[in-house]
Amino acid sequence: MSAAPESSASRTLSERLGFPEAVVELGHTHPSVRRAMAGAGGTLSFLVTLDDDRIEALEVEIGLGHRGFEKEVESRPWHEALPYVARLGYASGPIAQVGYCLALERLAGQGVPERATWLRTLVCELARITDHLARIAALSTAIGASAAERVAQHGEVVAMQLLVAAVGGSPLGSWAQPGGVACDLPADFGEVWVRSRSELEAALERIAVLLLDHPTAAERLVDVAPLGADACLAFGVTGPCLRAAGVAFDLRRDAPYLAYGELDFDVPVGERGDDYDRLAVVVEEVRQSLRMGEQCLHRLAALERSPGCLGSMAPGRLVVPAGEVTASIETSTGELGFFLASDGSDLPRRIRCRAPSFFHAQALPAALVHAHLDDLLPTAALFHLVSGECDR
């Protein structure tokens, strides 16, 4: 509450009417929070101080989904972390696993065959498409764009089926392994890809019509909750939210890992960092991921399926010398980092996960102060707060 208002115009509505300020808890069981937060439904709470319907102050409460991830994985051998790592995200589980494997391989000095690297790249992009479409569906729910919601959800199902086909089952399984991957693509994956790709492209066209180019939908997004480049960098915001603010930083381009250095793709950026830019960047990234998937499949078709092309499958025998490494990858939310410290013993000294959602949850109030209460959930959906990684 501002101190000593000069005139009645500078006072908040509650002050002028003589009401105490309204504090509303949008708790983790609130139906709208559960519906709009695809990745964090049921574990995230908002404490909102309101002036009329404007947000005066916002507190984001996390931790309801805390399950001691780092303690769990530090109490077991290195490779046993994989099932826990997969649960950092929803569809992006395989991306997190690939990130952990990259760090562990760097620490153990283990190489990965070329085919396995290309498979990992493909699966990361499929997971990104699934996550992005889930985010678009959550946003559509939050602004009441039910047609767009159905289109995005359909796209999410199509992408998830592709992902399931590629990893041979649940994305929460241990598909990525230190030194390689668990299984190759099924023989008919090419046909499924062609069919799914055209379906996804059609879904993107419809999303553009129903959200980006739709005046009513755009009105809910343009200039809503802007977070500029400086604030994003100060709070450690990464991923599409940072790019929407005009900062062209994408680890796939700026510190290429896996096969990204050989791929041809564009990095979409926005101008103002508002909800509209965030959505436009996410939609364009799905399109770019489809491009990358196509290139991965071309390359994979040229690479022989020889014995051993998937890499070592004896993670129990992994020798991890003393040392410290970091590995950072671009997930659908932002920069996911792993810091591993080993003292040469069987158990890890430290496994640290830099979760992008954690930083986004911290930055959310900066974007939303003075916004309408209605804009809270769409913005939270676009910031993509995934409780698995946020709460660890």
Rule CB under 8 A: choose which of 195, 298, 305, 350 binds other proteins: 350
Q: Which residues contact 164 (CB under 8 A, 6 or more apart)?
A: 170, 171
Binding part of the chain for other proteins, among 25-33, 180-188, 252-260, 375-383 by CB under 8 A, reads 252-260
- Residue 208 sits at φ, ψ, to 5 deg, of -60, -45
**Contact between 262 and other proteins per CB under 8 A:** yes
Please answer whether residues 157 and 126 qualify as being in contact, where contact means their C-beta atoms are separated by less than 8 angstroms: no
| Window contacting other proteins (CB under 8 A); options: 86-94, 118-126, 258-266, 301-309 | 258-266
Give the CA radius of gyration of the chain. Answer: 22
Contact residue for other proteins among 255, 303, 309, 369 (CB under 8 A)? 255
Indicate whether 257 belongs to the interface with other proteins (CB under 8 A): no
Complex with other proteins: residue 192 or 222, whichever CB lies closer:
222
User: Which residues have CB under 8 Å from 98's CB, separation 6+?
Assistant: 120, 123, 124, 176, 258, 329
Residues 173, 85 contacting (CB under 8 angstroms): no
Nearer to other proteins, 63 or 190 (CB): 63
When asked if residue 277 is in the footprint of other proteins (CB under 8 A), the reply is yes
Residue position matching structure tokens 């993107």? 204
Site string for other proteins, 353-392 (x = CB under 8 A): -x---xx-xx----------------------------xx
179 to 218: interface string for other proteins, x by CB under 8 A: --------------------------x--xx--xx-x--x
Among 62, 162, 167, 380, binds other proteins (CB under 8 A): 62
Q: Between 35 and 253, whose beta carbon lies closer to other proteins?
A: 253
Return the range that interacts with other proteins (CB under 8 A); candidates 58-66, 83-91, 175-183, 185-193. Answer: 58-66
**b vs e for 210-248, b when ≥16 Cβ sit within 10 Å of the residue's Cβ?**
bbbebeebeebbeebbbbbbeebeebbbbbbbbbbbebe
Buried b (16+ CB within 10 A) or exposed e, 349-384: eebbbbbbbbbbbebbbbbbeebebebbbbbbbbbb
Instruction: Return the range that interacts with other proteins (CB under 8 A); candidates 112-120, 134-142, 190-198, 226-234.
Output: 226-234
Between 168 and 228, name the residue whose CB sits nearer to other proteins: 228
Map residue 40 onto helix, strand or coil: coil
- Interface residue with other proteins among 36, 48, 138, 269 (CB under 8 A) is 269
Whose Cβ is closer to other proteins: residue 44's or residue 91's? 44
Residue 49 near other proteins by CB under 8 A? no
Place of tokens 């498409």: 129
**For residues 128-187, which are near other proteins according to CB under 8 A?**
none
**In the structure encoding, which two tokens stand for residue 125, read together?**
């992009």
User: Any contact of residue 280 with other proteins (CB under 8 A)?
Assistant: yes
Name residue, tokens 């392994």: 177
Which of positions 65-84 make contact with other proteins (CB under 8 A)?
66, 68, 70-72, 74-75
- 147 versus 182: smaller Cβ distance to other proteins: 147
Q: Which is nearer to other proteins, 163 or 357 (CB)?
A: 357
Minimum distance from residue 217 beta carbon to other proteins (Å): 10
341 vs 369 by CB, closer to other proteins: 341
Nearest to residue 184, comparing CAs of 252, 127, 122? 122
Q: Judge whether 164 and 186 are in contact, CB under 8 Å.
A: no
Q: How far is CA 298 from CA 133, 158, 291, 295, 371, in A?
A: 24, 21, 11, 5, 46
CA nearest to 240, candidates 264, 200, 214, 274:
274
The tokens for 73 are 């994985």
Between residues 191 and 324, which has the closer beta carbon with respect to other proteins? 324
Please give the size of the binding site for other proteins, defined by CB under 8 A. 72
